[in-house]
Structure 1
């Protein structure tokens, strides 16, 4: 009888070990992990640009580097003062390029290239906070003597708020889609387990400048579209 009792205890212990074996626990976890649904959805917002960036500056030439720079300084001071007088704040005028470089003659008939003079360049990056005035600002810069005008870029000042709106749309679309799948499968949607996102950002729009500008230069900023894509995993119950 004692042997039978010992055998019964051993069998019970073996069953308990099997029940709590790590492999058994992992199998239970895997089974629970299978009760999920993963969906992807997007949210999109469109905005009109309310910021514009342009570069404007001067290139001057002279026989010496000092003279080229002095001429450039005087010319750029006139441009910058005129832009400020036109309503461009000092914080919206930032030097982007300042260089003095030699100009060379072409090598010819066996003679090496030689220094023919010097060129000074100074450019500023302008932030125009009223896009409707962009054409006017370009005209003012050119009329003040600017002979180098760089690319025009448009942007949106409150991009983060727009991203948040797109995120809300994307999450609402994701939940609607997940609920549809859950209902079709005869189960209920549970808690959110994981969220990941991809953003097609509101990058500035580049516009090729024209070589010269006439009065009331027409500028069309167009519109920008921002899309947020979310990947969401829900538990099912």
Structure 2
């Protein structure tokens, strides 16, 4: 005897759906995510500065703006001419600030302040390509009439190239730490997923205002600069 079973529409649809589910591959979000490890590390290299950036200029005061400007211009011309005579190239001298401001006085009777003169300031940024000449140059600037020295910054001209060794050290340090942490967790470090470098700027070293007095070839020590590279690296874990 042969038995025949008839399936209704609902049963046929359920069976077809089940077959479709088994035939469809897993979606990306259904897969197990890769195990990753991310480590940040720093590398260092020491270099001697081979250039100096210096900001210097003249501030002059007078009862009128015209007189203050005239006095400032005369002294500033002497300063610039003296820099060139000292071997500073014209392209290494650039005006960084120029200002004309009123000078106020406060009456004793409590009346509002009144203008009693003007102050003119003119400053240039100087690139000194021989740090050993800095002390003598500062002395000459003051003797020529410069009464403002607002910044002194030692520069490593090939900093970007020299930092390559620091970058290599930073990556090696990150790898060493990643392997240490992975081993402690019972895993191995696999291929690199991403590498990112942090970029920063240390800024200039400050220097106080020069006084209008002979500095006797001020002893300036350039020392050394520590160049730093910091990276963040992500690896897969095996």
TM over 0.5: yes
SS at match of 2:178: helix
SS at match of 2:206: strand
Structure with greater proportional helix content? 1
Are positions 1:227 and 2:228 aligned together?
A: yes
Give the drift of 1:128. Answer: 1.4
Aligned to 2:63: 63
Q: Would the aligned equivalents of 1:154 and 1:206 in 2 still touch at CA under 8 Å?
A: no
Give the drift of 1:84. Answer: 0.4
For these two proteins, the number of residue pairs brought into alignment is: 233
Aligned to 1:192: 192
Q: Would the aligned equivalents of 2:94 and 2:126 in 1 still touch at CA under 8 Å?
A: yes
Q: Which moved more, 1:227-236 or 1:134-143?
A: 227-236
Tell me which of 26, 29, 32 is aligned to 1:26: 29
Give the drift of 1:78. Answer: 1.0
1:54-93 CA-to-partner distances (Å, cap 9, x unmatched) read: 2222222333222221222121111100110101111111
Give the drift of 1:235. Answer: 1.5
CA distance in 2, matches of 1:204, 1:19: 66
Tell me which of 14, 17, 25 is aligned to 2:21: 17
1:174-213 aligned within 5 A: 174-183=174-183, 187-199=187-199, 201-211=201-211, 212-213=213-214
1:101-120 aligned within 5 A: 101-120=101-120
Q: Which moved more, 1:137-146 or 1:159-168?
A: 159-168
Q: Would the aligned equivalents of 1:155 and 1:202 in 2 still touch at CA under 8 Å?
A: no
SS at match of 2:229: strand
**RMSD between aligned residues:** 3.1
1:16-45 CA-to-partner distances (Å, cap 9, x unmatched) read: 5157476x64231xx242x32222222112
Identify if the C-alpha distance between structure 1 residues 49 and 206 changes in structure 2 by more than 3 Å, giving closer, same or farther: farther
Identify if the C-alpha distance between structure 1 residues 210 and 15 changes in structure 2 by more than 3 Å, giving closer, same or farther: farther
Q: Would the aligned equivalents of 2:56 and 2:148 in 1 still touch at CA under 8 Å?
A: yes
Q: Would the aligned equivalents of 1:174 and 1:232 in 2 still touch at CA under 8 Å?
A: yes
Give the drift of 1:5. Answer: 10
Give the drift of 1:195. Answer: 2.0
SS at match of 1:151: strand
SS at match of 2:70: helix
Q: Would the aligned equivalents of 2:95 and 2:124 in 1 still touch at CA under 8 Å?
A: yes
TM-score normalised over the length of structure 2: 0.81
TM-score normalised over the length of structure 1: 0.81
- Name stretches of at least 5 consecutive residues in structure 1 with no aligned partner: none
